[in-house]
Chains A and B, each alone.
Chain A
């Protein structure tokens, strides 16, 4: 009895995926395609066992996690966070602090980092999520800058000189090289987790509520969506994985400095990745992260562009904003209704 996508297209209607419940959410080919995509990206350095490739792809996977998480508050809920990096930075700092000053093991530090980020998101959410639009965006910038300035002065976190790990720590993980590969595996796992989380949220009742908020927050409230709680939870969910990943990366680097941990520019790049790939989709941030980092890498190494790589990226962003605001995946979904199955 339910009309298929094809029939509706023939009727000239614009088709959006029918309710997720129509197809069992775990059998959606789109989800598995995305997971396979991430695995394909992630397994490449493992197959080639190349250290340089591993570093490049580590960075890509890092951005996959951060862009996918940002998508939860930005793409699904419609709240533009310009300060997303604050969760990465704070979580990372808490974790590295526990490792360097208290000798905590990595797994514990990662959990602590994720928790710290979640708590920050919860408290922040209560305060600033009632701001709308540009005010919320400004507030997130303010929070990130305040946090950076604060950590810059905070003695236990090393103030301006930051924290560093004693090299001996890597011996606990089988030596420096082993530790590097271990970091990679964990990050790959986290990237897969980020994709799954994004998908689960999108296909859940909670996600439907978020998208209602994005479309028209007041109308959503009239329909019964408890917006304060929903937004806060979205914010918390968007903060956990960045917090965990922060610990992992700082562990790998062996150190952290305030201006590195809370780079505002990083936040903007996450937004670019989400927009480039397609906000509000599961696959979008993944492709966006991959595409943006590859482009950046190419520009930085090309003689022609290396001095103006930022300008090229900026021009690209401008073109997307002006002409393809739905991003790559979003554009594909609008254009080819058939593809919706495969591009969640």
Chain B
């Protein structure tokens, strides 16, 4: 198991963002994490990656208890993530951005090796020709790819992708899905938060559904698609939805 989340709960003042979330993640699996807006998906990422400390529960990464450890410690252990709202290092070049990931990630690379890794990763995500551009001058789609490149350059064991498909057109989505598969084939385990349903169902080996901070379903994409609780969470009462559809 590369990741074990045990009974994690997180509260912000009066709001219970996560309640008793528990799951295991075997290596080289792609786990899809879905749920309506505000369900706590990004909060779960933040707990796993060290931004927040949970009130209850623990997180084990590669067998080690990492609950509440600093984010940079987790990066050194081989955990990388992208953000829902991209965070490029604006005044640095695309190449320098990725080099930061390479230098400070799992391996302690020097500048020269980091540069080489950066070149390779940028080619992989299709940003090779923009290596010298300032990160701040990219468009949103390119910034998302930069964010992914930065995470990959850290050579992580586990990659947390937060809505990496958001805002992409259909052909870009198809491309990104292939990229995600290729990343997994290189040995990286992936958790994906997504709203683009068809894509995430297509690529995930397994899925977990959160609603109001609680885990309401877990299983293969087929099982999830047919799970009435999941449908209810997204669409409300499924029977009402059917009736309404019949009426029109």
- Which residues in A have some Cβ–Cβ distance to B below 8 Å? 1-3, 5, 8, 11, 13-22, 203-205, 208-209, 211-212, 214-216, 218-227, 280
Please state if B71 and A222 are interface contacts (CB–CB under 8 Å). yes
Of B97-105, B171-179, B196-204, B230-238, the stretch lying at the interface with chain A is B97-105
- Residue with the greatest number of chain B CB neighbours at <10 A, chosen from A3, A16, A221: A16
Q: B26 → chain A, closest Cβ, in Å?
A: 24
Does B75 contact A8, Cβ atoms closer than 8 Å? no
**Cβ of B62 under 8 Å from chain A:** no
Check B71 against A14 for contact (C-beta < 8 Å): no
- Minimum Cβ distance to chain B for residue A311 (Å): 32
In angstroms, Cα B132 to Cα A5, docked, is 7
Chain B interface residues (CB < 8 Å from chain A) = 49, 51, 70-72, 75-76, 80-81, 83, 87-93, 95-96, 99-101, 103-105, 110-112, 114-115, 118-119, 129-134, 137, 150, 154
A224 and B132 form a contact (CB under 8 A): no
**B44: min CB distance to chain A, Å:** 15
Q: What's the least CB distance linking A221 to chain B, in Å?
A: 5
CB distance from B86 to the nearest CB of A (A): 9
Give the CA-CA distance A19 to B118 in the complex, in Å: 10
* Residue in B96, B104, B111, B133 whose CB lies within 8 Å of A224: B104
**Chain B residues near A209 (CB-CB < 8 A):** 100, 103-104
Is B100 a contact partner of A18 (Cβ separation < 8 A)?
Answer: no
> CB distance A223 to B154 under 8 Å?
yes
**Cα of A209 to Cα of B72 in the assembled complex, Å:** 12
Tell me if A18 and B131 are in contact (CB < 8 A): yes
| Residue among A18, A223, A226 making CB contact with B132, cutoff 8 Å | A18
Q: Which 10 A-B pairs have the closest CB atoms?
A: A224-B75, A224-B104, A215-B89, A16-B93, A13-B133, A219-B87, A21-B111, A21-B112, A19-B115, A8-B132
Give bound CA distance, A8 to B127, whole Å.
Answer: 13
Are B101 and A223 within 8 A (Cβ)? yes
A219 to B72, CA, bound (A): 10
State whether A223 and B131 are in contact (beta carbons under 8 Å apart), knowing that A2-B119, A209-B100 are contacts in the complex.
no
**A2: chain B residues within 8 A (beta carbon):** 119, 131
Cβ B72 vs Cβ A227 within 8 A: yes
B104 touching A225, Cβ below 8 Å: yes
Can you list 25 A-B pairs with a CB-CB distance of less than 8 A? Answer: A2-B131, A8-B132, A13-B137, A14-B137, A15-B133, A16-B92, A18-B96, A21-B115, A205-B111, A209-B100, A214-B91, A216-B87, A216-B88, A219-B83, A219-B87, A222-B71, A222-B81, A223-B75, A224-B72, A224-B76, A224-B104, A225-B72, A225-B104, A227-B72, A280-B91
**How far apart are B114's CB and chain A's nearest CB, in angstroms?**
8
Contacts of B150 in A (CB 8 A): 223
* Cα distance A60–B90 in the bound complex, in angstroms: 33
Q: Which residue of B lies closest to A18 (CB)?
A: B132
Task: Return A97 CB to nearest CB of chain B, in Å.
Answer: 40
Contacts of B100 in A (CB 8 A): 208-209, 212, 220, 223, 225
Which chain A residues lie closer than 8 Å to B99 at the CB level? 19, 208
CB distance from B153 to the nearest CB of A (A): 9
Q: Which residues of chain A are near B133, meaning CB under 8 Å?
A: 8, 13-16
Residue contact A208 to B115, C-beta cutoff 8 Å: no
Q: Using Cβ atoms and an 8 Å threshold, which residues of chain A touch B88?
A: 215-216
Check if A3 sits within 8 Å of B90, measured CB to CB: no
Complex interface: chain B residues within 8 A of A223 (CB) = 72, 75, 80, 100-101, 104-105, 150, 154
- Chain A residues with Cβ under 8 A from B83's Cβ? 219, 222
Task: Please state if B90 and A215 are interface contacts (CB–CB under 8 Å).
Answer: yes
Q: How far is the CB of B19 from chain A (nearest CB, A)?
A: 25
Q: How far is the CB of B137 from chain A (nearest CB, A)?
A: 5
CB distance from A106 to the nearest CB of B (A): 38
CB distance from A256 to the nearest CB of B (A): 39
Given known A2-B119, A21-B112, contact A224–B129 (CB-CB < 8 A) = no
Decide yes or no: A19 and B95 within 8 Å by CB, A14-B134, A215-B89, A225-B100 being known contacts.
yes
Q: Are B89 and A211 in contact (CB under 8 A)?
A: yes
A340 to chain B, nearest CB (A): 10
Which residues of chain A come closer than 8 Å to B134, judged between CB atoms? 14-16
Cα distance, A14 to B137, chains bound together (Å): 7
Chain B residue nearest to A19 (CB atoms) is B115
**Measured between C-beta atoms, what is the minimum distance from A195 to chain B in Å?**
20
Cα distance A204–B137 in the bound complex, in angstroms: 24
* Residue on B nearest A207 in the bound complex, by CB: B111
Contacts of B119 in A (CB 8 A): 1-2
Which residue of the partner chain, among B96, B104, B130, contacts A19 with CB atoms under 8 Å?
Answer: B96
Partner of B71, one of A16, A18, A221: A221
Q: A18-B132, A205-B111, A208-B96 given as contacts; is B105 within 8 A of A224 (CB)?
A: yes
Q: How far is the CA of A203 from the CA of B112 in the complex (A)?
A: 11
